[in-house]
Amino acid sequence: MNDQPFAVEMRGVNKWFGTFHVLKDIDLQVARGERIVICGPSGSGKSTLVRCINRLEEHQEGDIVVDGIALTNDLKNIDQIRSEVGMVFQSFNLFPHLTVLENCTLAPIWVRKLPKMEADKLAMSLLERVKIPEQAEKYPGQLSGGQQQRVAIARALAMQPRIMLFDEPTSALDPEMIKEVLDVMVDLAESGMTMLCVTHEMGFARQVADRIIFMDEGEIVEQNAPEEFFNNPQNDRTKLFLSQILAH
């Protein structure tokens, strides 16, 4: 499995919501350790693309291979992929009835079968990594948005995933909290994690991305290394998008 060259491979992926064609012939290869930022206007299908990778959305045509495992209707494969792929959501989606620590240990204990002691230790080390170990016994509702999102990152990391998906992780945050979350993500990127981030934080993209993908109308319009992407966009649609988000 580990000699698979790609962390994620999508070939000819198509998806419809009812009659609406959200993903059109997506071909994408993500190398191990590669950091990809996906951007594009709303409704362009970028979230759906990321959500197809761990089967939160089901694609109707084409092949998706994650970490050497083919994503099919086989529940066993889906479970295996989900335990290898961590995900961070725009709205955090922490479990409000569990403490921060319990949020981070539940899946390791019940899916990875880690003994509770070890799971606690792992969770605490991750909470330290996202710089909120002192909040471990609190409930999510008692934390600020930025803290909640950092807990969500720690929770995903607690499964020791090989790939991390971020679906607009800073879009629901107040401006002064965005930085604390991005800092954690930069730290994670520097550790060599394979990452796919849907985000509009272009500073972050410039700093850590190996490749930026621009999507519109369900298609990958353009993809390139950050320098090329920002300084020398090829497609008119990309130019328009960049002029709009970088204008101010």
**Residues lying near other proteins in the complex (CB under 8 A):** 54-56, 79, 82-83, 85-87, 89, 91, 93-97, 99, 106-107, 110-111, 138-139, 141-142, 152, 155-156, 159
CB closer to other proteins out of 89 and 241: 89
Q: How far is the CB of 90 from other proteins (least distance, A)?
A: 9
Report d(CA 38, CA 50) in Å as an integer: 9
Q: To 5 degrees, how large is the angle CA 193–CA 32–CA 213?
A: 85
Helix H or strand E encompassing 101: helix 100-110
Q: How far is the CB of 107 from other proteins (least distance, A)?
A: 4
69, 1 in Cβ contact below 8 A? Answer: yes
Q: How far is the CB of 54 from other proteins (least distance, A)?
A: 6
Strands 35-39 and 69-70: unpaired
Tokens of 73: 């209707």
Q: How far is the CB of 96 from other proteins (least distance, A)?
A: 6
Tokens of 65: 């291979």
Burial of 64 (0-12, 13-18, 19+ CB in 10 A): buried
CB closer to other proteins out of 41 and 145: 145
- For the chain, the residue count is 248
CB closer to other proteins out of 185 and 220: 185
Q: How far is the CB of 247 from other proteins (least distance, A)?
A: 32
CB closer to other proteins out of 20 and 95: 95
DSSP 8-state symbol, 213: E
CB closer to other proteins out of 5 and 141: 141
